[in-house]
Amino acid sequence: MTASDPGTAHPDPKEWLLDPETEYRFELDPGTSLAIKLVRGHAEIFGAELAEGKTYLFGLECKAAVFTWQGCTLEMRCPSTEYVSEETPMTAYANLHMAFEQMRVRALAALHGSPTSDDINNANTEPPRILILGPENSGKTTICKILSNYAVRVGQNWSPLLVNVDPSQGAWTVPGTISAVAIRSPIATVSPANQLGSAATSAPTALASNALIPLTYWYGHAETKRNPQLLDRLIRDLGMNIVERYDTDPEARVSGLIIDTPSSFASGPSSASSTDSRHTLIKACIDAFRINVILVVGHEKLNAEMQRLHGSHLTVVKIPKSGGVVELDHSYRERVRNYQLHAYMYGQNIDPPFDIPSAIVGGEAATELILSPSSTVMKFGDLAIYRIGEETMAPSSALPIGATRVLSEIQPTIIDPASSSSKLLNKVLALLAPFNADENERYDEEILDLHVIGFLIITNHDIPNKKMTVLAPNQGSLVGRTAVIGSFEWTE
């Protein structure tokens, strides 16, 4: 390694020579960025290959690692915390990928009526449908990215579904959602604002790296314990949509799916009600997505628990946690949610260190990722706004014995914007798809089953004049539309 003088205004780039099967890990401080160029050799970031000679830009407190199977030379500018590790779990993750690849091949052969030799002995011909469980700071999302990226790199035209049921993450849009998207090209790592890629609904649609079109449902909160009944229903809605898609497109089914889950599925408060709730949500995922493999990341007790509950009919595998996983505190997660909301509205803007004219962000030129959101003044009656359940709702287990809840946890209630108690200023709203055109199918809770087509932020709430100002990434009339509020707020 050659190091530069940290006191210079424009330090020379550093070079790191990585041995085979090692990785360069970095953690960025707030307000800093990092540029990495692969000088020679082969390297990847969470399964996505780096192109030799190109400069890649990272920012917004990104924490990631560049891994090499064969060795490489890297050049970088302005890291914050960095080191090289010779101990990685990549061999274990690659072995998992190979096992899942064999499942896909067998499933495709069975679909086309041409079973391989492995299938003569009645081998399982189901594609991999993987649920990844683990505690906080265990690297579940990274493993999802690695397995997805390896699947699309093998040249078999796989397009696995990547599913996020962790509402604390923004995934492809904003925090408070659960969603799924078909992955057809490797997911780039740029920043935590778009850790799984960007949705085409909020990014320049001409960009190949932003062509993801997720199916999204709005939960509206970061914590699963806030309304587990609602989350259960949304998980089943999402699963039903995926199953219907597979019924009409059997070719897509053979690529399988990979599900990222919240840490609350792995552990939480020791009360009986919270334990029942997380088991109910895990079971909802298993049923809705027809899971056949559970991966447990570095948690002996959870692995034993899953083996006992589901090992008789599912494959349960404990996998190692990477030593590079960073312990993330609450304040960092709050900052990341703000980054995600800002990126959804304005695109992703990362200033390169010093003068690097040709840096790319996620495979695209940095200057092409900027958006110009639309600000619209609306009358209160132009947009129907709902809340699911009460604004503050204790869990059912906290109610007095024999007491019943007046308002259901999943009952939609319309909000009067003219009321001083509406608290709409700076709120994030999910804009819902239109209701079913068939009036005969209308039902009270239909709002719960409508997917999201975009997000809005109320930037001004003028009660005397009965008007509000709404910020959206795209232009278009909102009159007559329906939106749902959650607990998220955002200010510029």
Give the tokens for residue 208: 């190949």
Give the residue-averaged pLDDT of 262-269.
Answer: 83
* 52 within domain boundaries: no
Say yes or no: 168 and 257 in one domain: yes
Interacting residues of 275 by C-beta distance below 8 A, sequence separation 6+: 268
Instruction: Read off the pLDDT band of 286 (50, 70, 90).
Output: very high
Task: Please tell me the total count of domains within the chain.
Answer: 2
- Cα–Cα distances in angstroms (integers) from residue 385 to residues 178, 413, 478, in the given order: 20, 9, 12
435: Cα within 13 Å, side-chain hemisphere: 16
- Cα–Cα distances in angstroms (integers) from residue 450 to residues 217, 316, 442, 485, in the given order: 7, 33, 12, 14
* 455 within domain boundaries: yes
* 423 within domain boundaries: yes
pLDDT digits 0-9 by tens, 128-148: 999 999 999 999 999 999 999
Residues of 278-316 as b/e, b for ≥16 C-beta within 10 angstroms?
Answer: beebbebbbebbebbbbbbbbbeebbebbbebbeeebeb
Say yes or no: 390 and 314 in one domain: no
pLDDT for residue 487: 95
pLDDT for residue 408: 76
| Dihedral sign for Cα atoms in the order 83, 86, 88, 93 | positive
| Dihedral sign for Cα atoms in the order 263, 266, 272, 277 | positive
Query: Taking the C-alpha atoms of 291, 232, 236 and 212 in order, what is their torsion angle to the nearest 10 degrees?
Result: -80
Q: For the sheet containing 360-361, what is the strand order? A: 14-18, 72-77, 34-41, 55-58, 360-361, 364-365
* 67 within domain boundaries: no
Give the tokens for residue 114: 């041409």
More confident residue, 116 or 149: 149
- In angstroms, the CA 289 to CA 285 distance is 6
Say yes or no: 121 and 225 in one domain: yes
| DSSP letter assigned to residue 19 | P
Of 264, 261, 171, nearest to 226 by C-alpha is: 264
Amino acid identity of residue 335, one-letter, is: R
* 325 within domain boundaries: no
CATH for 420: 2.40.30.330
Annotated binding residue 140: yes
* 426 within domain boundaries: yes
Of 134, 470, 443, 163, nearest to 302 by C-alpha is: 134
- Cα–Cα distances in angstroms (integers) from residue 58 to residues 65, 150, 291, 341, 351, in the given order: 11, 21, 34, 18, 9
Of 319, 345, 364, the residue that ends a domain is 319
Pairing, β 293-297 against β 129-133: parallel
Say yes or no: 166 and 275 in one domain: yes
Say yes or no: 128 and 277 in one domain: yes
pLDDT digits 0-9 by tens, 453-466: 999 999 999 999 99
pLDDT for residue 358: 59
Instruction: Read off the pLDDT band of 391 (50, 70, 90).
Output: low
Give the tokens for residue 197: 């890629």
481: Cα within 13 Å, side-chain hemisphere: 19
Give the tokens for residue 199: 């949705």
Give the residue-averaged pLDDT of 220-245.
Answer: 95
Q: Check whether 276 has a pLDDT greater than 90.
A: no
Q: Check whether 66 has a pLDDT greater than 80.
A: yes
Q: Check whether 58 has a pLDDT greater than 70.
A: yes
Q: Check whether 360 has a pLDDT greater than 70.
A: no
Say yes or no: 381 and 303 in one domain: no
- Cα–Cα distances in angstroms (integers) from residue 57 to residues 14, 152, 348, 426, in the given order: 15, 23, 11, 31
Q: To the nearest whole number, what is the mean pLDDT of the chain?
A: 87
Residue 455 CA from chain centroid, whole number = 16
pLDDT digits 0-9 by tens, 83-113: 999 999 999 999 999 999 999 999 999 998 8
CATH for 115: 3.40.50.300
Say yes or no: 405 and 291 in one domain: no
Say yes or no: 315 and 383 in one domain: no
Instruction: Read off the pLDDT band of 42 (50, 70, 90).
Output: very high
* 173 within domain boundaries: yes
Interacting residues of 398 by C-beta distance below 8 A, sequence separation 6+: none
Largest pairwise CA distance in the chain: 75
- Asked which of 296-305, 342-351, 436-445 is least confident by mean pLDDT, the reply is 436-445
Say yes or no: 207 and 314 in one domain: yes
Q: Is 99 helix (H, G, I), strand (E, B) or coil?
A: helix
Give the residue-averaged pLDDT of 347-360.
Answer: 72
Q: What are phi and psi of 56, to 5 degrees?
A: -110, 140
Give the residue-averaged pLDDT of 138-162.
Answer: 95
Highest mean pLDDT among 183-192, 230-239, 259-268: 230-239
Q: Check whether 403 has a pLDDT greater than 60.
A: no
Number of neighbouring beta carbons within 10 Å of residue 363: 17
pLDDT for residue 102: 96
More confident residue, 188 or 440: 188
The answer to whether the CB of 1 falls within 8 A of the CB of 17 is: yes
pLDDT for residue 207: 45
- In angstroms, the CA 315 to CA 295 distance is 8
Match 């999302």 to its residue by tokens. 141
Query: Taking the C-alpha atoms of 292, 297, 301 and 306 in order, what is their torsion angle to the nearest 10 degrees?
Result: -10
* 3 within domain boundaries: no
pLDDT for residue 210: 46
Number of neighbouring beta carbons within 10 Å of residue 79: 22
pLDDT for residue 476: 82
Annotated binding residue 63: yes
Amino acid identity of residue 138, one-letter, is: S
* Containing structural domain, residue 137: 89-319
Highest mean pLDDT among 9-18, 310-319, 356-365: 310-319
Highest mean pLDDT among 117-131, 321-335, 351-365: 321-335
In DSSP notation, 287-335 reads HHHT--EEEEES-HHHHHHHHHHHTTTSEEEEEPPPTT-----HHHHHH
pLDDT for residue 4: 39
Instruction: Read off the pLDDT band of 443 (50, 70, 90).
Output: confident
Of 284, 300, 319, the residue that ends a domain is 319
Q: Is 241 helix (H, G, I), strand (E, B) or coil?
A: helix
Say yes or no: 380 and 290 in one domain: no
pLDDT for residue 77: 84
pLDDT for residue 46: 97
| DSSP letter assigned to residue 185 | S
- Asked which of 20-24, 25-29, 274-278 is least confident by mean pLDDT, the reply is 274-278
Of 319, 335, 357, the residue that ends a domain is 319
Instruction: Read off the pLDDT band of 205 (50, 70, 90).
Output: very low
Annotated binding residue 142: yes
Say yes or no: 391 and 455 in one domain: yes
Annotated binding residue 139: yes
Q: Check whether 269 has a pLDDT greater than 70.
A: no
Element (H, E) at 228: helix 228-248
| Dihedral sign for Cα atoms in the order 470, 474, 475, 479 | negative
